[in-house]
Structures are given as structure tokens and as C-alpha cells.
Amino acid sequence: MQVSTLSVNLIDETDNSPSLTINRSVNYVDCVINRNIVADSAKLVQAAIEDAGRSKRSLSDETGIPYPTLNRKLKAQTEFSFTELFAIAEALSVPPWKFTPTLFSKPTELVHEKTAA
């Protein structure tokens, strides 16, 4: 696991001295997992749009998500909020769980084992 440290120094313009220093450790694995979750959600939403035969523009209009914002989220540049996913599910007439990233899904074997017991 790789950990990087991000340091930010804010400078006081009156005397050029550091006024605030922020140090934060960034776990590389967490960043990769987060990117995968965002990308997975974006793919699931994109597939639902296509399956419904809808355009991104009509979805944007119906949900109130600005078109440029929707495009960024579908490109996995930023993540969808739960509220946005719910609005999209309603507009596409699909259950909201359709947008659950695979990382959060139970393995099929476990589901079958529980129902068989």
C-alpha cells in the first residue's frame, strides 16, 4: 500500500508568512477504490439511459441535473450523489439499487446459500 502526503501552505499576503499548513496522508488504494466506485456507478447509469432509450439531454431536463454536470458524472470525472441517483432512477423507471456499484453487491453464492438455508 502506497501512502502519499499532501501538504498545502496558505500564505498571509501581508507579510508572506505561512498562515496555515495542512498535511494529509492519501492512501493510494483508497483513491483507486474510490475511482472504481465512481466509474462503476457512471457505467451503470449510462447503461440504464441506453436501455430506456433516453437521451442525456432529456434526462437532464427531467431530473434538474444540469447537462454539463450530468456529462461530467457519466464520464466518471465526479461522483453522483444519492439524491441524483434516486432522481435518475425515478426518471428512467428503474429501482435505485440498479446503480449500486459491484463493490457493494453481495456475491451471488452468498445470496443463494442464504435462500437455500
- Residue 105, pLDDT score: 72
Q: Which H/E stretch holds residue 8?
A: strand 3-12
**Total domains, the chain:** 1
d(CA 104, CA 58): 29
What range defines the domain where residue 68 resides? 29-108
Per-residue CA distances from 4 to 1, 18, 23, 24, 82 (Å): 10, 22, 10, 8, 29
pLDDT higher than 90, residue 59: yes
User: In the chain, what percentage of residues exceed pLDDT 90?
Assistant: 51
Q: pTM of the predicted model, to two decimals?
A: 0.65
Residue 91 within a domain:
yes
Mean pLDDT across the chain, nearest whole number? 78
Is residue 21, in this structure, part of any structural domain at all?
Answer: no
3 falls within a domain: no
Residue 39 lies in a domain: yes
Domain for residue 2, yes or no?
Answer: no
Q: Are 56 and 71 in contact (CB under 8 A)?
A: yes
CATH number of the domain at 46, please: 1.10.260.40
**Is 71 within a domain?**
yes
9 belongs to a structural domain: no
Asked, for residue 8, whether it belongs to a domain, the answer is no
Residue 74 has pLDDT above 60, yes or no: yes
Which tens digits make up the pLDDT trace of 9-22? 555 566 655 555 55
Structure confidence at residue 76 (pLDDT):
92
Whether 78 shows a pLDDT value over 70: the answer reads yes
